[in-house]
Amino acid sequence: MAVRMRTYYDKAYKGKKKDFLNLLKERIDSGRRTFVVTANPEIFMLGRKLPEMNEALSDEETLIVPDGIGVIRGGKQLGYEFEERIPGVEICEELFVYADQKGRSLYLFGAEKSVLEDLAARVRREYPNAVLAGCTDGYVQDKEKVFREIVEMQPDIVLVALGAPKQELLIHRYYRRGEKGVFIGVGGSFDVLSGRKKRAPSFFIRHNLEWLYRIASEPKRLKRFWDSNIKFLFELRKEKHGNR
């Protein structure tokens, strides 16, 4: 049977960012194992295409938040209302602050080596009480092995920046082997958090045009944008009119 976007929308978190962050912090405090998908249309489309990604997204334990405005606008077409975007990059920053306040441990996995080094230096400098359990760049040979070792280490927070679907598939495949940990796939967030890439100016963020800024500053994203976002809208339309 064809995968329905409604399956993902039904379970997506629709409340305020602040409340979601409180929920995550409670889970960190209680040691409850958690997997968060920071969704954009590309991720939902990958769920339609790849059975394992569909499993990861549909799993009742997986939390899905609307990282991009495309997910929110698309949801509207199907009758779903979201309070606001919950971007992965903002979740990371909040969790750095929380880890610092509570002395929680943190593992950073992904991005290029030099980007990761810059981010690790920033974390050590700005969040000195956060325990940096380790960091590994995203271009190592055996990512599966590295990830399994991270799970065994049991850090409180694991941020995985390998891009979709790699990050979601890895997390979903292995995170339940450990007993605790909040695991989040954060895409290109390390590039921004390290200071390497600029996030869109606040005008773009405020007007929900961050996607436009990203395409304009990296035109190679245009094909990806077309492949996922535009097709996504067609799929939603079909679903709305009962063609699946």
Residues of this chain that bind ligand UDP (CB under 6 A):
110-112, 138-139, 161-164, 187-188, 190-191
Q: Nearest Cα to 89, choosing from 68, 115, 103, 114? A: 68
Least distance to ligand UDP, CB of residue 173, Å: 16
**Nearest residue to ligand UDP, scored by beta-carbon proximity:** 138
Least distance to ligand UDP, CB of residue 120, Å: 14
Least distance to ligand UDP, CB of residue 9, Å: 20
Closer of 75 and 188 to ligand UDP (Cβ): 188
Sheet with 62-66: strands ordered across: 62-66, 34-39, 182-185, 157-161, 105-110, 131-136
Q: Are strands 182-185 and 157-161 parallel, antiparallel or unpaired?
A: parallel
128: number of CA atoms within 13 Å, CB side?
Answer: 1
Closer of 191 and 239 to ligand UDP (Cβ): 191
Least distance to ligand UDP, CB of residue 13, Å: 18
Closer of 32 and 215 to ligand UDP (Cβ): 215
Closer of 45 and 162 to ligand UDP (Cβ): 162
Residue 240 bridge partners (DSSP): none
Q: Are 153 and 134 in contact (CB under 8 A)?
A: yes
